[in-house]
Amino acid sequence: MKSKFFIYVLPLILGVVATILMLNAPQPQKGAASKPVAVEPPAAVPVVLSEQPDEGQETTKEEAEKDSETEQAETAEETEETTEEGIDEPVEIDTLRSAFVTKAKTISQNELWLEFIARDDALLRCVKAVDSIAAGDIPIEPLDFLKPKTPFSASLNALGLLVVTVEAIARYQDAMDALRSIDMQAATNLYNEIEPALDAIFHELGYGEKETFRAKLTEACTVILETPVMKGEGGLVHVAANLYKYSNPQLEELLPVQKLLIRLGEKNREEIRSRVTEFSKQLKLYAE
């Protein structure tokens, strides 16, 4: 795997915050989309029949037309009142997007986090990153600004095994500091508030109206949590310049983002797993 594919840890943060960002809503089954809520239509306005005139009374044409207009006006007024009472106001998605930048500052004052949320397309990048992780891919395009300045490196350990170097792992320090700085309860509250905006962006990417970003976030968290737990670092094989693969076939067959997680070092990957577990519980992503 080429080195430029190795260093995107913020997708894991975004998987945490939805992911970041970003949940206490109905509990979907693992990896399944939430069921749409059935909404009852407004009650039908009853039609009021005018009384028949007494026998022998005659109603002029002008009087009949006047009565008809009065009934229509009253019916329209009742319908409008019923509609206003039975239907919620639509959510202002643009308002939620604007509020995100201000309110996201409440979950962390970390420099990298503040740099990310200041971007005009921060929410779009977040949704794309979570979408990529759910597919097992490394979100290179939405998190291009995290490209490392130094290349990946490996060296022989005391047992003669080729493993990732301490220096290579240290390149993730800023991203890990950002992850540690996140207030998970504040992140949960923020996600619940802006979830309609995340869903709107999710649908703009081409997903159906019955599909939800919450379900996609659940899939992304699942990919992270299903990464094998292992002690130490996996042995590598040098294939070509800046290109390595795992000597263990089982590790090499993992999804790209799972292999990235392993390359972060044992301490970092276990901390990421712990934070993702905590966040998914607070958001109730999985049924008990």
Give the model confidence (pLDDT) of 210-269 as tens digits: 999 999 999 999 999 999 998 888 899 999 887 899 999 999 999 999 999 999 999 999
Nearest to residue 108, comparing CAs of 225, 10, 242? 10
136 φψ region: left (φ > 0), alpha (ψ -120 to 50), beta (else) = left
In a domain, 144, yes or no: yes
**Helix or strand or coil: residue 74?**
helix
- Gyration radius (Cα) of the chain, Å: 28
In a domain, 69, yes or no: no
Q: How many domains does the chain have?
A: 1
In a domain, 43, yes or no: no
The model's pLDDT over 55-112, given as tens digits with 9 standing for 90+, comes to 444 445 555 555 555 555 555 555 444 444 444 445 577 788 777 888 898 899 999 9
pTM: 0.68
- Domain hosting 111: range is 3-37+93-283
In a domain, 25, yes or no: yes
In a domain, 270, yes or no: yes
In a domain, 56, yes or no: no
In a domain, 234, yes or no: yes
Backbone angles phi, psi at 183, to 5 degrees: -85, 110
CB count in 10 Å sphere of residue 75? 14
Using the predicted structure, report yes or no on whether residue 127 has a pLDDT greater than 70. yes
